[in-house]
């Protein structure tokens, strides 16, 4: 058996290996890895998540809390007033300079009533009625100074999931060509490299890239930002899993 195994892409487990322990002994990742499966009794908003208080719950009657469903989840319930917004963010510790990657698994109950930004940004929260990037009244609006993520917005003229970023000045969004249906769960991944490039993946498939997406040295948080749209009152978004990696 060789002491070093070289793999150019990935390892795929099949058959019985999918349903039982498939690794004997420890695997020590060379990247720093943070994750949450939201299996706790309550969401840790003291040491782990910025997801409570006036800044994060900026709208009217917003809530962000553990929801005890199969496998665990965090439930974001947006405000009761049109354009109310709320935010769930990590510490500001990631950067393209360290090849940061974030992956969220998310379910939207009613796509026609919500705007969502998912990815990396330079602030844990924005003012009420704002997301890092969104499309109020079908106008692309860039609020963050540095960010890269997915945007789905009921106010946008297209129902496609958009790949978007800001590098001090606005970049041109990329249409993923993928729509989000009601009650559908999607896995969204944003990968940054040391040149500030962002590559966007849906369900493990690359759907867009922005070559100069973000300032490489800028520190970022991983974030999910949600907003009520279409005057339909509160809507719900389930955050089912979170993973983030970057180089030591």
Does residue 125 sit within a domain?
Answer: yes
For 59, the token pair is 């709208």
Rounded average pLDDT per 10-residue block, the chain, 248 residues:
81 80 77 96 94 84 94 95 94 98 97 96 95 96 97 93 95 96 97 98 97 97 95 89 96
Does residue 1 sit within a domain?
Answer: no
Q: What is the pLDDT of residue 166?
A: 97
pLDDT in tens, 167-177: 988 999 999 99
Q: What is the pLDDT of residue 1?
A: 58
Query: 187 and 207 in contact (C-beta within 8 Å)?
Result: no
Which of 180, 159, 163 has the alpha carbon at shortest distance from 172?
Answer: 163
Q: For all residues of the chain together, what is the average pLDDT?
A: 93
> Measured in Å, how far apart are the chain's first and last C-alpha atoms?
29
Does residue 212 sit within a domain?
Answer: yes
pTM: 0.93
Question: What is the distance between the alpha carbons of residues 201 and 103, in angstroms, rounded to a whole number?
Answer: 9
pLDDT in tens, 121-151: 999 999 999 999 999 999 999 999 999 999 9
Does residue 230 sit within a domain?
Answer: yes
Does residue 226 sit within a domain?
Answer: yes
Does residue 102 sit within a domain?
Answer: yes
Q: What is the pLDDT of residue 120?
A: 98
Query: 105 and 118 in contact (C-beta within 8 Å)?
Result: no
Q: Domain tally for the chain? A: 1
Q: What is the pLDDT of residue 2?
A: 74
Residues 6+ positions from 185 with CB-CB distance below 8 Å: 105, 106, 107, 238, 240
Q: What is the CATH number of the domain that holds 105?
A: 2.60.120.560
Does residue 24 sit within a domain?
Answer: no
Note down the domain range covering 169: 35-247
Does residue 148 sit within a domain?
Answer: yes
Question: What is the distance between the alpha carbons of residues 236 and 147, in angstroms, rounded to a whole number?
Answer: 24
Question: What is the distance between the alpha carbons of residues 153 and 217, in angstroms, rounded to a whole number?
Answer: 29
């Amino acid at each position: 058996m060789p002491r070093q195994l070289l793999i150019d892409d990935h390892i795929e487990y099949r058959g019985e290996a999918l349903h039982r322990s498939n690794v004997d002994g420890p695997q020590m990742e060379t990247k720093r890895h943070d994750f949450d499966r939201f299996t706790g009794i309550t969401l840790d908003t003291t040491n782990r998540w910025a997801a409570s208080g006036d800044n994060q719950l900026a709208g009217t009657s917003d809530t962000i809390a553990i929801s005890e469903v199969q496998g665990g989840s965090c439930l974001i319930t947006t405000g009761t007033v049109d354009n109310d917004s709320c935010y769930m963010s990590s510490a500001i510790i990631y950067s393209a300079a360290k090849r940061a990657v974030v992956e969220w698994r998310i379910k939207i109950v009613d796509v026609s009533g919500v705007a969502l930004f998912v990815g990396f940004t330079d602030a844990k929260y924005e003012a009420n009625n704002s997301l890092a990037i969104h499309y109020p009244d079908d106008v692309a609006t860039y609020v963050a100074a540095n960010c890269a993520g997915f945007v789905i917005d009921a106010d946008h003229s297209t129902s496609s999931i958009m790949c978007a970023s800001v590098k001090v000045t606005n970049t041109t969004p990329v249409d993923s060509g993928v729509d989000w249906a009601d009650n559908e769960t999607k896995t969204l991944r944003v990968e940054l490299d040391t040149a500030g490039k962002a590559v966007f993946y849906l369900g493990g498939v690359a759907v867009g890239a922005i070559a100069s997406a973000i300032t490489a040295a800028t520190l970022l948080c991983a974030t999910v930002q949600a907003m009520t749209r279409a005057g339909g009152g509160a809507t719900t978004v389930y955050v089912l899993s979170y993973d983030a990696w970057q180089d030591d």
